[in-house]
Amino acid sequence: MYINGQWIESDKTFGVINPATGEEIGRVVDGNQSDAAAAIDAAHAAQKSWQATTAYERSAILYKAWQLMMAQHEALAELMTREQGKPLKASRNEVKYAADFLLWFAEEAKRIYGETIPSGRSDQRFIVQYQAVGVVAAVTPWNYPISMLTRKIGPALAAGCTVVLKPAESTPLCAIAVIKILEEAGVPAGVVNLVTALDPKPIGTEFCTNPKVRKLTFTGSTAVGKKLATDAAPYLKRVSMELGGHAPFIVYEDADPVHAAKGATLVKFLNTGQACISPNRIYVHKNIMGPFIETITARVNKMKAGNGMDAGIAIGPLVNDAAVAKAQNQVQDAVSKGAVVHTGGQRLVADGLDQGFFYAPTVLSGVTNDMLIYSEETFGPVAAIIPFDDDDDIIAMANDTHYGLAAYIYTQNLKKAMRTFEGLEFGIIGINDINPTSAAAPFGGMKSSGLGREGAREGLMEYLETKLGGFSI
Would you list the domain boundaries of the chain? 2-243+447-472, 247-431
Q: 79: closest CA among 25, 27, 2? A: 25
CA pair distance 102, 100, nearest whole angstrom: 5
Q: What is the pLDDT of residues 88-131, one digit of tens each?
A: 999 999 999 999 999 999 999 999 999 999 999 999 999 999 99
Q: Mind telling me the catalytic residues?
A: 242, 276
Going from the C-alpha of 6 to that of each of 17, 39, 183, 192, the distances in angstroms are 26, 11, 10, 11
E strands, 309-455, where? Answer: 340-343, 362-365, 382-388, 406-410, 428-431, 450-451
Residue pair 99/69 in contact by the 8 Å Cβ criterion? yes
* Collapsed DSSP state (helix, strand, coil) of residue 167: coil
Q: What is the pLDDT of residues 134-175, one digit of tens each?
A: 999 999 999 999 999 999 999 999 999 999 999 999 999 999
Planar angle of CA 387, 392, 393, nearest 5 degrees: 50
E strands, 24-84, where? Answer: 24-29
* Collapsed DSSP state (helix, strand, coil) of residue 222: helix
CA pair distance 127, 54, nearest whole angstrom: 19
Q: May I ask the CATH class of domain 247-431?
A: alpha beta
Residue pair 365/407 in contact by the 8 Å Cβ criterion? no
pLDDT at 247: 98
User: Using only C-alpha atoms, what is the Rg of the chain?
Assistant: 23
Residue pair 145/167 in contact by the 8 Å Cβ criterion? yes
DSSP secondary structure letters along 11-48: S-EEEEE-TTT--EEEEEE---HHHHHHHHHHHHHHHH
| Global confidence as pTM | 0.96
pLDDT at 315: 98
CA pair distance 189, 1, nearest whole angstrom: 13
pLDDT at 451: 97
Q: 345: closest CA among 310, 301, 288? A: 301
pLDDT at 290: 97
Distance of CA 277 to the CA centre of its chain: 9
pLDDT, mean of each 10-residue run, the chain (473 residues): 97 97 97 98 98 98 98 98 98 98 98 97 98 98 98 98 98 98 98 98 98 98 97 97 97 98 98 97 98 98 97 97 97 98 97 96 98 96 97 95 98 97 98 97 97 97 98 97
CATH code 3.40.605.10 for 2-243+447-472: yes
pLDDT at 376: 94
pLDDT at 36: 98
